[in-house]
Amino acid sequence: MQTIILQVLVFQLCFLVVYEALLRKETFFNWNRGYLLITSIISLVLPFIKLKSFSKVIPSEFFVNLPAVILGEEKVDSPAILENLNTVAENTNSITFSMLWIWYAGILVFGCVLFFKLYKIWRFKRSSNSIQKNGYSIITLKNSEDAFSFLKSIFLGDQIESAQKESILKHEKVHVEEKHTLDLLWFEILRIVFWFNPLVYIYQKRITEVHEFIADKSASKQQQNYYESLLAKTFNIAQFSIVNQFYSSSLIKK
């Protein structure tokens, strides 16, 4: 298991280095989105393919004869050597068992965090007024300036100025139509399973950037003064990793 996890980390690192060096500054946003999604999946598959090919290339006789060549029959029969080998094996198994339980505990904690996020969105939907549109719904958040989308729902704060709502709605409609929430949920699952892996967080940050660029590009084609409207208002919105939020100062600067 440790070998597989290590290989996943290596593949993810290689894919991210390629992305940072060659693709991130390019404006082929849909291609970048596809690259991030596909490589995040490939990095999970490649270790298993490599392990299978490795076992086919090396003959089974090698595995049978190797212990005899290294240890020798006389050394293996020595009680002291056998006792030391058993002790090492027991210690290794104990460490592996402890690491597995720490991993499982992390999965449980981060799984609960995702459940809380989903529950919070569900409460927003239940406690707010909604209007059904063609293929999506607009949900008004009371006493709020927040703006974000999740699956087929667009959440708009009732304190957002009317002049800004048109721009925000066009932006968030792109997230809904492009199904960006599914990408975010996929990386949330990766964060749960590989909660100890910083590369997954980088992956999620990069896919979020690409989502915003895609939405801005599409919205600006529909509205001539989109960017002027975008820069006219600054929203104070907390980070919420499973929704597509309208505002991010660093992304607007880019």
Instruction: Render pLDDT for 17-67 as a digit per residue (tens, 0 to 9).
Output: 999 999 998 889 999 999 999 999 999 999 888 555 544 544 544 444 444
- Per-residue pLDDT for 194 more than 70? yes
Dihedral of CA 166/24/187/34: which sign? Answer: positive
Least confident among 121-130, 194-203, 205-214:
121-130
Report residue 64 CA to chain centroid gap. 42
Total tally of structural domains belonging to the chain = 1
Q: Specify the pLDDT at position 181.
A: 96
pTM, 2 dp: 0.75
Q: Show the domain range for 48.
A: 2-253
Q: Specify the pLDDT at position 244.
A: 67
- Per-residue pLDDT for 68 more than 50? no
In the chain, what is the straight-line distance between the N-terminal and C-terminal CA atoms, in Å? Answer: 40
Q: Specify the pLDDT at position 223.
A: 67
- Per-residue pLDDT for 240 more than 60? no
197 burial level (CB within 10 Å; 0-12, 13-18, 19+):
middle
Position with higher pLDDT, 172 vs 96: 172
- Per-residue pLDDT for 237 more than 50? no
pLDDT tier, 3 (very low <50, low <70, confident <90, very high otherwise): confident
Find the DSSP H helices in the chain: 2-18, 29-57, 60-71, 73-77, 79-127, 162-177, 180-193, 198-222, 226-231, 249-253
> What mean pLDDT, rounded, does the chain reach?
80
Residue 172 and residue 149 in contact, taking contact as beta carbons nearer than 8 Å: yes
The residues pairing with 147 across neighbouring beta strands, listed in sequence order, are: 156
